[in-house]
Structure 1
Amino acid sequence: MKSDSLLIKPAPSFDEPVEMLKACHERIAAQCTTLGKLAAHLPSHGADVQAQQAARNIMRYFDIAGPHHHADEEQDLFPLLIEASERLHSPVGERIASLLDEHRVLETSWAHLRTVLADIAEGRTRLLEPVQVADFVGAYRSHIALEEREIFPFAQACLDRQQLARLSAAMVARRTISTTSTITPQ
């Protein structure tokens, strides 16, 4: 056994904003997996304690961290990349336009799923429509794949330290609660 195989990779910090966005994708994927498991769990077990907790966890993530992630991209990362794309004559700007449209679709899909999850969280047995769950999960996985394949490598290649620092600061500020100066976890 290699000695380095026992080492745990440290979580990225906001000092590495692109890596932090990638880590967000991992958490989104994990929540999507939980959503699929919950959909499979409900027909046999109903809105039991386990289902209620899973529904609350999924809602907490997509109600808080999900919008922060979209805002990180839309308000801070994407404008920098569109500018770089125009300067470098890259097709990334066109990809970003489609990603923005996908954000709206994902948000609408989430709103529909959330109504069912809210009932489950309250102990009311409702079933998640398998097609709706599959569409949501598939759309997110496809969206993440495009960002990680094309957008994030472009960001890492063309953004300078100053731009990355501004992106980082904006991400931290978005998660800072002004009265207590704490960071909302993702």
Structure 2
Amino acid sequence: MMQATDATAIRTPSTDAAPLEGFVGSHVGILKQLRALDELPALMEPAARARRIAADSLALFREGILEHHLDEERELFVAALASAQPGAEKARVQVMVERLTREHRIIEGVWKFLEKDLKRVTKGQDAELDVHEVHALVTAYTSHAAFEESEFLPLCQVILGRNGNHMAALGLSLHMRHTPPIVGHI
């Protein structure tokens, strides 16, 4: 009988597969993560769009809607009430002004609730943006704007249009509110 040499032992097939077991199936997790990575470019644009929408919405409220509400409450509502004819017309304007002012507070309250999460979105941070509150804000403002455009502003046109001075006074008042003060020496 011949003794096996070291070279013969190496060529002898082994039935012990233990060294390969660590490799079998090891690519499953790697491939799963690589497939997720392959989706990443498609997700970047929606994420960037979400940040832009959040930033634009913050600016809209800060520089647009809140100022618009102030203009209406301090100037337009006051002018319409002051120029309305006593009796039914003035009562109608008063009811509308109260409704619009109440709606302003509701819209601003919902906005306050959403604002902190929108700020997080603009920074690309995780945020629990409440879809129902977003929808409530959009719905409330859409309804508010529709009423104002179809009912209140046409009435204001009639009321303030009776006297050119009243319309001019409103225009001047709004202009003064939005003109920065002149700073300097006199």
TM-score (norm 2): 0.66
- In structure 1, the residue matched to 2:139 is 138
- In structure 1, the residue matched to 2:149 is 148
- In structure 1, the residue matched to 2:79 is 80
Deviation at 1:86, TM superposition (A): 5.1
Aligned identity (percent) is: 28
> 1:74-111: per-residue Cα shift (whole Å, max 9, x none)?
01111122234452522221121111111111111111
Q: Rate the CA distance shift 1:76–1:46 in 2: closer, same or farther, 3 A.
A: same
Letter paired with 2:127: R
Counterparts of 1:119 and 1:47, CA distance in 2: 16
Flag the structure with larger Rg: 2
Counterparts of 1:111 and 1:46, CA distance in 2: 27
1:163 is the counterpart of 2:166:
yes
Give the conservation status (yes or no) of the 8 Å contact 2:121–2:127. Answer: yes
Q: Any idea what SS the aligned residue of 1:125 has?
A: coil
Give the conservation status (yes or no) of the 8 Å contact 2:81–2:94. Answer: yes
Greater length-normalized contact order (CA 8 Å, ≥ 6 residues apart): 1
Letter paired with 1:68: E
Q: Rate the CA distance shift 1:120–1:51 in 2: closer, same or farther, 3 A.
A: same
Q: Rate the CA distance shift 1:47–1:114 in 2: closer, same or farther, 3 A.
A: farther
Letter paired with 1:141: T
Q: Any idea what SS the aligned residue of 1:115 has?
A: helix
1:89 is the counterpart of 2:88:
yes
Letter paired with 1:117: L
Letter paired with 1:96: V
Show the 5 A alignment for 1:17-28.
Answer: none
Q: What stretches of structure 2 of length at least 5 have no aligned partner?
A: 1-42
Counterparts of 1:113 and 1:179, CA distance in 2: 36
Letter paired with 2:169: R
Give the conservation status (yes or no) of the 8 Å contact 1:47–1:120. Answer: no
Give the conservation status (yes or no) of the 8 Å contact 1:46–1:125. Answer: no
Q: What stretches of structure 1 of length at least 5 have no aligned partner?
A: 1-43, 181-186
Give the conservation status (yes or no) of the 8 Å contact 1:106–1:139. Answer: yes
The list of structure 1 runs, each at least 4 consecutive aligned residues, that deviate by more than 4 angstroms after superposition, is 44-47
- In structure 2, the residue matched to 1:175 is 178
Counterparts of 1:102 and 1:134, CA distance in 2: 15
Give the conservation status (yes or no) of the 8 Å contact 2:83–2:166. Answer: no
Give the conservation status (yes or no) of the 8 Å contact 1:109–1:136. Answer: yes
Show the 5 A alignment for 1:45-84.
Answer: 48-84=47-83
Deviation at 1:166, TM superposition (A): 1.9
1:120 is the counterpart of 2:121:
yes
What RMSD over aligned residues (CA atoms) do the two structures have, in Å? Answer: 2.2
Show the 5 A alignment for 1:38-49.
Answer: 48-49=47-48
Deviation at 1:148, TM superposition (A): 1.2
Count of aligned pairs: 137
Deviation at 1:49, TM superposition (A): 2.6
> 1:112-160: per-residue Cα shift (whole Å, max 9, x none)?
1111110011111324211101111111011111111211011111103
